[in-house]
Amino acid sequence: MVNIAVLGYGTVGSGVIEVLRLNGESISKRCGHDINVKYILDLRDFKGEPVENLIVHDYSVILNDPEVKIIVEVMGGVEPAYTFVKEAILKGKSVCTSNKELVAKHGAELLELSKAQKVNFLFEASVGGGIPIIRPLNQSLTADEIEEITGILNGTTNYILSKMSSDNADFDTALKEAQNMGYAERNPQADVEGYDACRKIAILSSLAFGMQVDFEDIYTEGITGITDTDVLYAKAMGASIKLLATSKKVGNHVYAMVAPMLIKPTHPLFSVNGVFNGIFVRGNVIGDVMFYGSGAGKLPTASAVVADVVDAAKHIGTNIMTFWSSKKLELRDVKAVEHRFFVRVAGCDDKARALVNEVFGEIEEVKVDGREEEYSFLTGFLSEAAFEEKADRIGKPLSRIRVMF
Residue 112-141 contact track with ligand HSE, rule CB under 6 A, x = bound: -----------------x------------
**Cα–Cα distance, 1 to 253 (Å, whole number):** 47
List the one residue out of 50, 52, 22, 17 whose CA is nearest residue 36: 17
Decide the pairing of beta strands 240-250 and 364-365: unpaired
3-state secondary structure of 261: strand
> Contact 185/196 with Cβ under 8 angstroms?
yes
| Run of H or E including 202 | helix 195-209
Residue 196-235 contact track with ligand HSE, rule CB under 6 A, x = bound: x---------------------------------------
7 is in an annotated binding site: yes
- 156 binds ligand HSE, rule: CB under 6 A: yes
Name which position in 150, 154, 379, 399 contacts ligand HSE (CB under 6 A): 154
**Cα–Cα distance, 142 to 208 (Å, whole number):** 9
> Contact 236/367 with Cβ under 8 angstroms?
yes
Could you tell me which stretch among 42-50, 184-192, 226-234, 397-405 binds ligand HSE (CB under 6 A)? 184-192
Could you tell me which stretch among 152-160, 218-226, 249-257, 339-347 binds ligand HSE (CB under 6 A)? 152-160
Q: Per the residue annotation, which of 200, 248, 249, 298 is the catalytic one?
A: 200
Residue 268-307 contact track with ligand HSE, rule CB under 6 A, x = bound: ---------------------------xx-----------
Q: What is 28-39 written as a DSSP string?
A: HHHHSS-EEEEE
- 185 binds ligand HSE, rule: CB under 6 A: yes
Helices (H), 237-344: 298-314
> Contact 95/122 with Cβ under 8 angstroms?
yes
200 carries an active-site annotation: yes
> Taking the complex as a whole, how short is the minimal distance between the CB of residue 126 and ligand HSE, in angstroms?
8
> Taking the complex as a whole, how short is the minimal distance between the CB of residue 363 and ligand HSE, in angstroms?
35
**Cα–Cα distance, 98 to 330 (Å, whole number):** 26
3-state secondary structure of 372: coil
9 is in an annotated binding site: yes
Q: Which residues bind ligand HSE (CB under 6 A)?
A: 129, 154-156, 183-185, 191, 196, 295-296
Q: Which residues are annotated as a binding site for NADPH?
A: 100
- Catalytic site positions: 200
